Structures are given as C-alpha cells and as structure tokens.
Amino acid sequence: MLVVSCGKNAVTIKGNIANVENELLELYVSTTPKKLIDTVRLNSSGKFSFKYEFKKNIFPVFFTLSVSDKPLASLLIEPGEKVIVKTDIKNPAAYTVSGSEGSQLLKELNDRMLKTIISVDSISRILTKIGNTPENTQQINRDLAAIYTKHKRDLIKFVIKNNKSYAAYTAIYQALPNGIGVFGKESDALYFKLLADSLEIKYPRSPCVVQLRDDYNRLIKTTTIQSLFDKAAETSIPDVKLPDVTGRQVSLLSLKGKVVLLNFWSSEDKVTAMNNNELLPIYEKYKSGGFEIYQVSLDEDRGSWLHTINTQQLPWINVCDFRGTATYPLKLYNITKLPANYLISRDCEIIGKDLFGDKLEEKIKENL
C-alpha cells in the first residue's frame, strides 16, 4: 500500500510500543477525514517501522499512530526526518519522540492541553463534593477562568516562540475541553497575522497560510490593527536575555512591574539611531514613574555599537549579542523591518506595537 523510497524526501518512523500482542498499528495522515497510509502487525516486542515518501516541495505533514483506532502519538514530520517513537499502550500520553523537531513541539503542545484537562477535571470534582450552590459555582467559574487564561497565555508564548513551525498552526486552532477554540476573538487576529507572515516565508503557498489569512481577515472586519493592541489584555511575552554594555546578562522579564518599551535598532541604521533622539526626552520625563527602555541592537560590531551609545548618551538598557539579523529576539517577536518596538505593561502584557512620538508618549501615560 505504501511506496517505499530512499530519496531525500523519504522519512522513516520507527519505534517500540510496550504491552502489545498481535495488535494492528495504523499510520494515518491527519487530514479531515483522516487517511490510512499503512499498517503493521505488532508482535510481543512491539517494534515497528514505516516509510513515507513526500511529494516534491510538499509541506510538513501531520500523522497519527493508532491501535484499534485509538490514538497513541501525534507527529509533525518534514522530508528527510528519521523519527523514533516510544510509548506504552497502557499510557499513550507518556510517549516520547525524537528525530523530528515538529513532532517534539507537537508533544509539548499536547502535554500542555493534558495538564489543562487534568486541572479542569479536578475543579469539576471539587464542585461535585462541595455542592452546586450559587457561591460555590461562582468560585469554581473564577478558578476555571484562571486555568483557561493561563492556558491561553502559554499558547500565545508558544505561537510567538515557534512561529515558523506548523506546530504553532496547531496551537492557534486548539480547542478547550468544552469545545470552544482558544483563539477566536478580535484581539487574537494579531496572532493569526503573525503566524501567517512567518509561515509564508518558509512555506509559500501553504494551505495553512491561506487559512490563517482567511481567519485573520474575518476577525478584523470590524476592527483595526491598533484597536487590537488596545484590546489585547490577555497577551503574554516571551523573555529576552542578552548582555548589556558591561557584559551582564539582562532579562526583559526582570523588568516586570515597569512599563517597558522593547525597542529594536542598529547603530548602522540612521533612522533607528535618529529615533533615539526622540526617545531621550520621553525617557527622562517618565523614568521616575516606572518607565524603562529595553533596547535590542542588531549590530555586529561591538565598537560601533558602544560608540553610538556613548555619543548619543543613551541612559537606558542596551543589549546586543553581535549576531546581527541572526539574533534570536527578531524571530521571537517576528521583527521583519526597522524601526520596530513593542510597548509592554507592568504585568508583562503587550499593549502596543510600533508606536512613535506622541502616540508612544500618550500610551505610556495611560499605563503608568
């Protein structure tokens, strides 16, 4: 049933399943409806091996390993990968996977959801024990809301951090145990756009990108990009930790409790260097009230970077790893051009993007 090939687009999926005896292991492509690709009869050793040949220029493919239509492992595989899966039919959620970065990210995502489901089940059992009174129900609803909020914040971090992986596509369409999608509000349009822009670079003409853009356009019909940031109260940020001018590692999240401008620049870029002149009076005006600037440089030359900082007398936090455009915060925050910035609240939530001049100052005043 399966065409075996040794080409560069071929993948292998091997592994071991404990506690099986004469079970039929099924390999599905996770389409709608799912498509059976191959099967193998397992003996007591539980060892198995599949091969799959990708079509030319195909995108990553989602697979599911199942026994008797019971899912054992979810995989996200790219051409050329050699994937190893180990699991126990009595505890499939504890499977391990190696040889495939996408599959490992998918496992991380599934583990997050399992943790949320366990927390929700625990809260539901508590309500059963204490009784369904109005007061108890109100408290349980608050507890459930806190669980769901944390889960969404974790997914936001996951999407931003892994925005060039199809695993983030799975995250953005993940549904809660009650069947409601985690993302779907107007303020979530930002993440659909971020992910579509990032995936399109690596996977042009991808059906996933088309769907993301369609949903982004649907969500912004009645709003604007700026209002999305104004409403993005549930946003969380990934950390950045880079050396400052003294070589000391400074974490962005260490500034929690302050309103922070995460600013991207380069001493070689005249526009961003000139932007520092606009930031100086704003910084001096609001720093005593809890405002800080965390400036990430795209410089490769330490001397040029330090010279500009000293010449312009920049008093805020300046960090750089001298990797130029390869510095990881660019990918982390989906920065594709300069100047660029994010304004971050005291609670480490994104409250604005690419704000300059009067608009930046106005937003700072609102949040101090």
Residue where a domain terminates, one of 70, 95, 120: 95
Look at strands 10-18 and 249-251 and give their pairing: unpaired
Q: Give dist(CA 282, CA 261) in Å, integer.
A: 11
pLDDT in tens, 120-145: 888 877 767 776 677 777 777 788 88
In a domain, 159, yes or no: yes
Global model pTM greater than 0.85: no
Q: Could you tell me the pLDDT band of residue 5, with boundaries at 50, 70 and 90?
A: very low
- Domain of residue 352, residue span: 241-367
Do 282 and 362 have their domain in common? yes
In a domain, 101, yes or no: no
User: Whole-angstrom Cα distance, residue 10 to residue 51?
Assistant: 7
* Alpha-carbon gap, residue 350 to 231, rounded angstroms: 10
Residue 132: the pLDDT is 64
Asked if residue 2 belongs to a domain, the reply is no
In a domain, residue 323? The reply is: yes
Contacts of 251 (CB under 8 A, 6+ apart): 239, 240, 241
Based on the fold, state whether residues 141 and 210 are members of the same structural domain.
yes
Domain count, the chain: 3
Give me the pLDDT at residue 230, please: 47
Structural contact between residues 219 and 231, judged by C-beta atoms closer than 8 angstroms: no
For residue 90, give the CATH number of its domain.
2.60.40.10
Within this chain, do residues 186 and 143 fall inside the same structural domain, yes or no?
yes
Sign of CA dihedral 177, 179, 182, 185: negative
Q: Provide the Cα torsion 221, 224, 227, 231; round to 10°.
A: 30
- Report the alpha-carbon distance of residue 235 to residue 193 in Å, rounded: 15
pLDDT (tens digit per residue) in 22-72? 899 999 998 777 889 999 999 989 999 999 888 766 789 999 999 987 889
Kindly state whether residue 298 falls inside one of the protein's structural domains: yes
What are the pLDDT digits (tens) for 149-208? 889 889 988 998 898 899 999 999 998 776 778 888 777 888 888 899 889 888 888 889
Q: Give a yes or no: residue 259 inside a domain.
A: yes
**Listed residues 231, 251, 276: the one ending a domain:** 231
Residues 198-257 have pLDDT tens digits of: 898 888 888 899 999 988 888 876 554 444 444 444 446 778 889 998 888 899 989 989
Q: Which of 33, 111, 107 shows the shortest CA–CA distance to 76? A: 107
Q: Are residues 75 and 127 in the same domain?
A: no
Listed residues 74, 95, 116: the one ending a domain:
95
